[in-house]
Structure 1
Amino acid sequence: MNHPRTLRVDYDQTASVMCVVGSELNVNLNRSAPPSSKFFSVKCTPSVQYSIIPTPLKESHLSPIPLHGKSVLLIGMSRASQHENDSKLSIRYYGESEEVLGRAVLHLTAVEISLDVDADRDGVVEKNNTNKGSWKWGPNGHGAILLVNCDTERKFRKKLDSESEEVSEHSDLKDMTVMALRTKGPAKLPEGYKLTMHISQGDAESVRVFKLRSPDTTGNILTENLFYKYFEKAFPLVLSSKVLSQEVPYLGGTAEMNFYVEGLRFPDKDFNGLIRINLSLLEPISTGLPETPIFTDTVVFRVAPWIMTPNTLQPSEVFVCSTSDNYRFLKSMRSLVAKSGYKLNICHEYMNRGDRWMQDELEFGYIDAPHKQFPVVLDSPRDGKLKDFPYSQLLGPDFGYVTRMAEEDDVSSLDSFGNLEVSPPVTVNGKDYPLGRIIIGVAFPTATKGRNMTKVVQDFLWAQKVQEPIALFSDWLYVGHVDEFMTFVPAPDRKGFRLLLASPDAGYKVFRGLRNAGHGQAKLFEGLKDEEQKTVDEILDDEGLRGENNYVQHCIDWNRDVLKRELGLDEDDIIDLPILFKLVPDKKEEEFRALAYYPDMVNMIVLGKNLGIPKPFGPKVNGRCALEAEMCALLEGLGLSCTFINDFASYHKLLGEVHCGSNVRREAFDFKWWNLEM
């Protein structure tokens, strides 16, 4: 990496000059020459390299060379010095008759200085990568990666590691990115010279840098083994929001010193994720005046984004709540999760305090760097009675936490994370989205009023960049969540998945088929206590219900077109599920919004090939629910297994379903986000 530097040279004087190997000293010869100088010559010791611009006609620089108004001497060093002033260069100036008019002598001390990171993203901190000072996306890109240190190593008094200005445990270092300072040169720098590491005020809120203390107070080098005994003082803070610049030691000889860099916040509206750390060699001018930088090396990091995981990825563990009235639901979930071979985590009443909506409180994701990967839970701003669960129960070693707080008046039902989904990987008009695209629900674009996902959450999601969000229209729903009318399931063909959409048209098709087959008196909700049963004929003859479902179908079709366009889908990639809705008054907004007429089968849990679907209690034909039969016919051809879970009393009547009451942490993508083509 070339670092040109202008150098003043005075004739008839000897100067001591520091030079960094790989940098270049530029001397304007005419400006430093004695009056009436017409010629010059250059002589140096073997480790000094130089060239002259414009290139002289004479072969030897020892012979007088004509001095032009723009004659420039370029000086460099081929190797680091073993001792101070162990190299030399002299310039002689001559008059018209080639008589000597003056002589400038430079005593040179050279050092190698390199601030190094894993710029090629292979897990190894290489030396002086030429691309370390910039960021480029893609498989042939470059630039180091930083994780937000958003987990905690504290086992008793929980606190995010990013909120502490100390290294709390040895394992905390594993969450940080190593940055190496490599130097080579004399045993010490010349008097007054020093190395300083520094960051800008703008980056200071986003990053911290620690180093291993060396030497300790006994004069011994503090090894990482001794860290366990002295960890509180072993890794002092070098840079932070309070310390923008600090001198770092020059160790002499051939040396390497590791620094540990941690990210403090995720990309967001006011932070593009890029951070620069600089190392400068400072030169003394005179007593009482500040030193000036004569060399600066810079490295660039990008903070790893928070990444969501779609239904097509392998589950790791399932989360549900236990409440006083959901025993039957919980029993069915236990059976389904056990059959699928995954771990079930139950949040008990002392923690959930009656709040059963596990999907709405949080969303699972992860962060990834070449050296480390761990899950991170995004806590929604809904803050129901489950609000303590993500922080108190999930946050821990190698399990991170992030949230976005909003003003209470800004939070609506659309800020619950049933309204936050992500698609499987797609290609749209030749553009790849190998990590899928985030999907949120908002008010209709032309609406003058309505509910929206709060801006701080939307800003956060957009700033991650790697899963470019899609906004759907969901405010027509009473609860307002996208998971009420859509989900994704894995498939063995086409794009590797299907989009499932709730469809009143498909529902009416099933009911008309039943009536045509002579089953018009078959009853919906049969066997349910305290629920008014409806016959197929009554549903089909209810013109008001039909009108309401026409409206709902139009809303879903608007979203269907958006999803087809934004995800690059064809009709064959979509399966319509037979679900009817009804409109009910929303007193807060003084308008009508939609609820599922019977359990909303699209609101399912996806565990590999096993689906946990709300039991619809549809009309029975020959002892079998016609709606269940239709679901099996639509999905089992994809190799999927349908399990119908009775959530009617404990979830459906409370305006939610199986998906609303559960959550799934999934394995990360194999694809590395930094290989995205942007």
Structure 2
Amino acid sequence: MKVPRTVRIDSGKKTEFVFVVGNDLCVNLNRNAPSKSKFFSVKCSSDVQYSINPPPTTTSRPTPPIPLNGNSTLNFTMTRASEQENDNKLSVWYYDEKKEILGKAVLHLTAIEISLDVDADRDGEVEKNNPNKGSWKWGPDGHGAILLVNCDCERSYWKKPDHMQKGNAVTRVSDLKDMSLMVLRTKGPAKLPEGYKLTMHISQSDAEGVRVFRSKTPPVVISESFGSLFYNDFVKDYPLVLSSKDLSQEVMYLGGESEFKFYVEGLKFPDVDFDGFIRINLSLLEPICKGVPETPIFTDQVVFRVAPWIMTPNTLDPIDVFICSTSDNYEFVKGITKLAEKSGCTINICHEYKNRGDRWIQDELEFGYIDSPHQSFPVVLDSPRDGKLVDFPYDELLGPDFGYVTRVPERKDVSSLDSFGNLEVSPPVTVNGTNYPLGRILIGVAFPTATKGRNMTKVVQEFLWAQKVQEPIALFSDWLYVGHVDEFMSFVPAPDRKGFRLLLASPDAGYKLFRDLQSNGHGKATLFDGVKDEKPLTVDEMLEDDNFHSQNRYVQSCIDWNRDVLKRELGLEDEDIIDLPILFKLVVEKGNENQFRAVAFYPDMVNMIVLGKNLGIPKPYGPKVDGRCALEAEMCSLLEGLGLNCTFIDDFASYHKRLGEVHCGSNVRRKPFEMKWWNLQM
């Protein structure tokens, strides 16, 4: 319910008052009436509409004196802006019992239109005075403006994300496209009555997440007579209006019918201490007298929500492939390059003088993006692992329309689980009627009962949870030596069912395949045939090793735990899952003789790169049957029926022996979702 604002009038005085069109005002007629007042009457200009409560018995205007009682009120409004100061008037006359005049209160009124406007309907345009601009609602029928964290960098040298650049002004006009437009629209006389002023202000808490800039030279009014304005569009400096150091600042009232543009910059992503909402206020202040603070008589508010960081799953189309070149991975680089070109992707090779021997580019970073109705760009999330690729995300990726974000924990909190092979995201799913159209983030942690297990560091987990649009799922990965979820799972596109398949490493599937080989007379076929410095192992020898089998039963139980979690949290059925024949072995953790963790026994085929329908799979060097690797044949049988093309890439010496595979040594930037995050039903 719209409640009129209470104002006061003083008998025997003339009061100037600025009225904001669209509001209703209420006067308590008895409060400041002269002593012995028993009646009153009202007169006003033609642009002022009023009503009296309780209503008088007559409807004639001007009203004859009517009885004054303790609850007599006058409500009035104006529907259009003034052309000059004080060009409207409202007066209240007071009478005694004999209806003789005791005094009158005169209110000189200047009506103005004021609206602080944003793109509240999310169509890329700043509409005028949207009724929903002061609130935020999720969904396709939702409303509320969107703000990007300005985390790319317009500079080529001395780079920093733009929101971290020092100084109080925008120095490059190109940076404005990463900010959200906010428009102050006013209409009224050439100037406000003396002492009135407009201020823009934010709270201290919101100021940590936002800055507001304006044009250094305000719009210049060239002509008012035709109801149109012309603006100076050539200003290249945009001074700071609001920040953590300046919570409030007066803004210029231009007169006539004018628009004043402001540019709102996001400074921080949603996180555990920030819900992502920013509120900006505009107030009209009324003077009382010299030495006394002004009081607000009108406030307008707009609400922004900061866009979340969004990950992209394997089922989205690839754009760029990133790999590292080292002294020993020529065949790997050649194989990935050929696959990328076949898939229509750009190949980006980080050479050794930059990577300094660190080949694990998947572990160093994760590609995502941020999106709004007016702008979208990729944003790399830099992991806290900080190997020798530590500078790559910042130095090589941060740039114009390519953002950067990281979370830095205390050093003691960082473990192998903080590498981003331990960070994946599912394709879109629906779970028990709940839709996740942007998928769900997957992270690996310690088993719930573990007391000394490794976990992804708290600050990264909190960041991922705070984005809200891809609700994370915790999987059990601490049983692995390296500890990454990409060692036992992946997603590939599919033409049916949910549009994808979940691939899971399965020792049971591996043993089934090898037992079938043995029963078909291929027990003497060897694994690792032709691999340098690797002793060949027959199928019979492997199957006879009871300890090895026990190790794989343990691994299967760990994967089954995760299988159940994934089925429950992603709404999957067994038909949505493909078990890949992969075996593991347990090794002693370095520095802890009592701790055994698992590594892949032969190249871990689930640890693949997915480029559309083209899969780059670690070459497993399994036993050959009729001249063909039985493991490769099984992979092709399982996946090619989905329209996928399997390419096997030799990573044995350069990656597998170093406890990683193809996915660990590559990274992919993908197209964003067509689904807009703000249309989610939350």
Structure 2 residue aligned with 1:654: 658
Match of 2:355 among 316, 337, 352: 352
Mapped to 2, the partners of 1:3 and 1:661 lie a distance apart of: 63
Q: How far apart are residue 75 of structure 1 and its match?
A: 1.9
Find the residue that maps to 2:170 and give its secondary structure.
Answer: coil
Mapped to 2, the partners of 1:168 and 1:439 lie a distance apart of: 40
Structure 2 residue aligned with 1:14: 14
Q: How far apart are residue 211 of structure 1 and its match?
A: 0.4
Structure 2 residue aligned with 1:41: 41
Q: Does 1:293 align with 2:296?
A: yes
Find the residue that maps to 1:300 and give its secondary structure.
Answer: strand
Find the residue that maps to 1:31 and give its secondary structure.
Answer: coil
CA shift digits 1:227-259 (9 cap, x unpaired)? 3xxx3xx21110111111111100000010100
Mapped to 1, the partners of 2:150 and 2:269 lie a distance apart of: 10
Mapped to 1, the partners of 2:60 and 2:354 lie a distance apart of: 85
Structure 2 residue aligned with 1:481: 484
Change over 3 Å in CA distance of 1:225–1:47 after alignment to 2: closer
CA shift digits 1:209-231 (9 cap, x unpaired)? 010112599x9x9966533xxx3
Structure 1 residue aligned with 2:532: 529
Which range moves more in the overlay, 458-467 or 74-83?
A: 74-83
Structure 1 residue aligned with 2:192: 189
Q: Does 1:258 align with 2:266?
A: no
Find the residue that maps to 1:279 and give its secondary structure.
Answer: strand
Structure 2 residue aligned with 1:472: 475
Q: How far apart are residue 604 of structure 1 and its match?
A: 0.1
Structure 2 residue aligned with 1:92: 93
What code does the residue aligned with 1:20 have? Answer: V
Q: Does 1:629 align with 2:637?
A: no
Map 1:27-176 onto structure 2 (within 5 A).
Answer: 27-60=27-60, 62-164=63-165, 165=167, 166-176=169-179
Which range moves more in the overlay, 4-13 or 638-647?
A: 4-13
Structure 1 residue aligned with 2:616: 612
Which range moves more in the overlay, 158-167 or 650-659?
A: 158-167
Find the residue that maps to 2:474 and give its secondary structure.
Answer: strand
Mapped to 2, the partners of 1:588 and 1:86 lie a distance apart of: 86
Q: How far apart are residue 167 of structure 1 and its match?
A: 1.3
Mapped to 2, the partners of 1:543 and 1:652 lie a distance apart of: 24
Q: How far apart are residue 170 of structure 1 and its match?
A: 1.4
Structure 1 residue aligned with 2:406: 403
Match of 2:234 among 223, 226, 229: 226
Mapped to 2, the partners of 1:100 and 1:265 lie a distance apart of: 63
Map 1:481-630 onto structure 2 (within 5 A).
Answer: 481-589=484-592, 590-630=594-634
What code does the residue aligned with 1:675 have? Answer: N
Mapped to 2, the partners of 1:307 and 1:89 lie a distance apart of: 57
Note if contact 2:81-2:187 (Cα within 8 Å) is conserved in structure 1.
Answer: yes
Change over 3 Å in CA distance of 1:121–1:386 after alignment to 2: same
Match of 2:392 among 372, 389, 392: 389
What code does the residue aligned with 1:26 have? Answer: C
Q: How far apart are residue 57 of structure 1 and its match?
A: 3.6
Match of 1:267 among 265, 270, 273: 270
Mapped to 2, the partners of 1:319 and 1:540 lie a distance apart of: 39
What code does the residue aligned with 2:346 have? Answer: K
Q: How far apart are residue 287 of structure 1 and its match?
A: 1.1
Note if contact 1:351-1:386 (Cα within 8 Å) is conserved in structure 2.
Answer: yes
Q: How far apart are residue 341 of structure 1 and its match?
A: 1.4
Note if contact 1:2-1:22 (Cα within 8 Å) is conserved in structure 2.
Answer: no
TM-score (normalised: structure 1)? 0.97
Which range moves more in the overlay, 604-613 or 157-166?
A: 157-166
CA shift digits 1:477-503 (9 cap, x unpaired)? 000000000010000000000000000
Q: Does 1:641 align with 2:645?
A: yes
Matched positions, count: 671
Change over 3 Å in CA distance of 1:617–1:110 after alignment to 2: same
Note if contact 1:184-1:253 (Cα within 8 Å) is conserved in structure 2.
Answer: yes
Change over 3 Å in CA distance of 1:132–1:284 after alignment to 2: same
Q: Does 1:429 align with 2:437?
A: no
Q: How far apart are residue 15 of structure 1 and its match?
A: 1.0
Mapped to 1, the partners of 2:435 and 2:249 lie a distance apart of: 43
What code does the residue aligned with 2:379 have? Answer: V
Note if contact 1:3-1:295 (Cα within 8 Å) is conserved in structure 2.
Answer: no
Map 1:213-252 onto structure 2 (within 5 A).
Answer: 213-214=216-217, 226-227=234-235, 231=236, 234-252=237-255
Note if contact 2:219-2:260 (Cα within 8 Å) is conserved in structure 1.
Answer: no
Change over 3 Å in CA distance of 1:529–1:445 after alignment to 2: same
Change over 3 Å in CA distance of 1:145–1:4 after alignment to 2: same
Note if contact 1:154-1:168 (Cα within 8 Å) is conserved in structure 2.
Answer: no
Q: How far apart are residue 385 of structure 1 and its match?
A: 0.2
CA shift digits 1:74-103 (9 cap, x unpaired)? 122111111111001111223334333321
Q: How far apart are residue 146 of structure 1 and its match?
A: 0.3
What code does the residue aligned with 1:479 have? Answer: V
CA shift digits 1:127-147 (9 cap, x unpaired)? 000100011000111110000
Mapped to 2, the partners of 1:70 and 1:592 lie a distance apart of: 83
Find the residue that maps to 1:226 and give its secondary structure.
Answer: coil
Which range moves more in the overlay, 77-86 or 650-659?
A: 77-86
CA RMSD of aligned residues (A): 1.6
Match of 1:380 among 370, 378, 383: 383
Structure 2 residue aligned with 1:24: 24
What code does the residue aligned with 1:671 have? Answer: M
What code does the residue aligned with 2:618 have? Answer: P
CA shift digits 1:599-644 (9 cap, x unpaired)? 0000000000000000000010001000000000000000000000
Note if contact 2:219-2:232 (Cα within 8 Å) is conserved in structure 1.
Answer: no
Change over 3 Å in CA distance of 1:329–1:91 after alignment to 2: same
Structure 2 residue aligned with 1:672: 676
Change over 3 Å in CA distance of 1:292–1:497 after alignment to 2: same
Q: How far apart are residue 23 of structure 1 and its match?
A: 1.6
Find the residue that maps to 1:60 and give its secondary structure.
Answer: coil
